[in-house]
C-alpha cells in the first residue's frame, strides 16, 4: 500500500548520449553544426508497453540548452 504500491512495476532507465547535426538552408546565411552532450530518464509504465522519457542536452559548440520529453511505445 501507500507510496510503495504506486511505484510497484515502474521500470526506471537512464540514458547518456552524444548527438551531432548540421543544418543548411537556414533563414540566416551559412550552415550551422553542433554537437550536444546530454542525459535522460525513462520511466516504464506498467501495462502500457511504453515509457515516458525526459532528455536534457547541452551544446558543446554553441552553448544552447535543449529539453525534450514524450511517450514512446
11-63 residue pLDDT tens: 999 999 999 988 887 787 777 788 999 999 999 988 878 899 999 999 998 88
Which pLDDT value is given to residue 52? 94
Which pLDDT value is given to residue 2? 66
Helices and strands per DSSP (H, E), number in the chain: 1, 4
Query: Which set of grid coordinates corresponds to residue 65?
Result: 540548452
- pLDDT at residue 3 greater than cutoff 70: no
Q: What angle do CA 66, 68, 70 make, to 5 degrees?
A: 180
Please list the residues that pair with 58 across neighbouring strands: 37, 65
Query: Which set of grid coordinates corresponds to residue 4?
Result: 510503495
Amino acid at each position: 500500500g501507500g507510496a510503495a504500491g504506486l511505484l510497484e512495476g515502474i521500470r526506471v532507465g537512464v540514458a547518456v548520449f552524444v548527438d551531432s547535426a548540421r543544418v543548411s538552408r537556414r533563414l540566416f546565411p551559412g550552415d550551422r553544426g553542433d554537437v550536444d552532450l546530454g542525459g535522460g530518464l525513462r520511466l516504464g509504465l506498467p501495462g502500457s508497453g511504453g515509457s515516458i522519457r525526459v532528455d536534457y542536452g547541452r551544446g558543446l559548440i554553441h552553448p544552447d540548452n535543449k529539453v525534450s520529453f514524450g511517450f514512446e511505445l
